[in-house]
Amino acid sequence: MLSRVVIVGASAAGLTVAEALRRRGYDGKLTLIGDEPHPPYDRPPLSKQILAGTWEPDKVRLRSDAALDGLGADLLLGHAAVGLDAARRQVLVAGGAAVGYDGLVIATGVSPRRLPGTDLAGVHLLRTLDDALTLRAALLDRPKLVVAGAGFLGAEVAAVAREMGLDVTLTGLLPVPMHNLFGPRLGGLIAEMHRDHGVSLRLGIGVSRLIEAAGRVAGVELADGSVIDADLVLVAVGSNPATGWLAGSDLCLSDGVVCDSRCQAAPGIYAAGDVASSYNPQFGARMRLEHRMNATEQGIAVAGNLLGDDLPVAPVPYFWTDQYDTKIQAYGIFPPDGEFQIVSGDPVDRRFAATYGRDGVMTGVLGWNAPREVRTLRQLVVDRAPWPASSTSSPLSALMAR
């Protein structure tokens, strides 16, 4: 009988597990350990509303003090977990405390990757609320900004900075922004959108080093030897799962905490959110998803599995990005070598829906300023609809005609 649950990571996934356990009637001891001093907060707005200054920082809080009190949990905030002693069933916390558990959830998320020179003044990372507020303050000085990395984060920050009127260059190793998420064709449309908004794009080439002058960053040198001048550099070259504290724990760590389809890493130990690499039976593949919805879906499922549900976790990934006045929403997966088909609307009109497929199966649907369409199309991914989809006989036409 479960009586002492410890959740390491007090962000979206960890908080979700705690709340779902209580909703399900778990009334034992609950400890939530988080390395940041802030109460649980939401990260997607950091590179959008917080950076743009349209929200007060407090608005990213996930729960009020009263709601957190109502959880009946010990909140150890500002305390990093530094080790796991699975034999003794204890989490070791910085400062020397050991917290015992009979059920453990690992939800420590990811840490941003760095480039050599990231410690220079004028070089920023963006993962935490403090990072976002520091970057926001620096952008207000109207620096010439170079964003190193054209994934999700880099593309969103470039958009916000351009809307603030800054001189922005977006660089990335791959030929188009968000290539690994959406493939070459949609990435090409995203590149066009940034170009139309005045971002200078230097894509398909890596950063070789950050250039220093007078103790701070002065530019970015690319692999071909060319240099882009910069007053400020955002390093947004992806993230690594925050598993350093689990070294020596005997858990299998390989691009995250390796879990089965139940999000279980070992008996009594589960993982949820960005850090979890779990087998997703819906796609027949191991996945580690850095998506906000996944943190919630896995969190709810892990709480259930802790309580004995023993159910596989097979979410259809959902994610979105807001750039300028465009909202891209996606369900599923979008392998860069998959095929892409527009099923309604037209990119010229800046509103369309598309499907993606590979190996005879539809793997994803995507909406560009088309929220209702993409929600309707989602079912095709759930059903693993045949690919290529026939526009006359498939459920596609019926769905779109609704």
Partner 1 sequence: MKVTIDIDKCIGAGQCVLSAPDVFDQRDEDGLVVLINPTPSAGQAADVKHAAALCPAQAIIVED
Nearest approach, Cβ of residue 76 and partner 1 (Å):
22
Phi then psi for residue 346, to 5 deg, are -155, 135
Among 262, 292, 334, 354, binds partner 1 (CB under 8 A): 292
Among 2, 22, 29, 62, binds partner 1 (CB under 8 A): 62
Q: Binding of partner 1 at residue 318 (CB under 8 A)?
A: yes
Number of residues that bind partner 1 (CB under 8 A): 25
- Give the footprint of partner 1 on residues 9-38 (CB under 8 A): 16, 19-20, 23
Residue bearing tokens 């995507």: 366
Nearest approach, Cβ of residue 318 and partner 1 (Å):
6
The identity of residue 297, as a single letter, is E
Q: Which is nearer to partner 1, 168 or 276 (CB)?
A: 276
Contact (Cβ atoms closer than 8 angstroms) between residue 355 and residue 380 = yes
Reduced to 3 states, what is the DSSP secondary structure of residue 301? helix
Nearest approach, Cβ of residue 249 and partner 1 (Å):
30
Kindly write out the interface string for residues 34-53 of this chain, putting x where it contacts partner 1 by CB under 8 A and - elsewhere: --------x-x---------
Nearest to 273 by CA among 238, 237, 303: 303
Phi then psi for residue 276, to 5 deg, are -90, 125
- Give the footprint of partner 1 on residues 143-182 (CB under 8 A): none
Q: Which is nearer to partner 1, 211 or 293 (CB)?
A: 293
- Helices 12-23, 292-306: inter-axial angle, 10-degree rounding: 40
Nearest approach, Cβ of residue 141 and partner 1 (Å):
27
Q: Which is nearer to partner 1, 7 or 86 (CB)?
A: 7
Kindly write out the interface string for residues 331-360 of this chain, putting x where it contacts partner 1 by CB under 8 A and - elsewhere: ------------------------------
Q: Binding of partner 1 at residue 372 (CB under 8 A)?
A: yes
* DSSP track, 285-313: EEE----HHHHHHHHHHHHHHHTT-----
Nearest approach, Cβ of residue 375 and partner 1 (Å):
4
The identity of residue 41, as a single letter, is Y
Phi then psi for residue 35, to 5 deg, are -80, -15
Which two three-digit tokens encode residue 311?
């159910």
Q: CA 284 to CA 261: how far, in whole Å?
A: 10
Contact (Cβ atoms closer than 8 angstroms) between residue 129 and residue 47 = no
Contact (Cβ atoms closer than 8 angstroms) between residue 250 and residue 67 = no
Which residues contact partner 1 (rule: CB under 8 A)?
16, 19-20, 23, 42, 44, 55, 59, 62, 292-293, 296-297, 300, 318, 320, 322, 327, 329, 369, 371-372, 374-375, 378
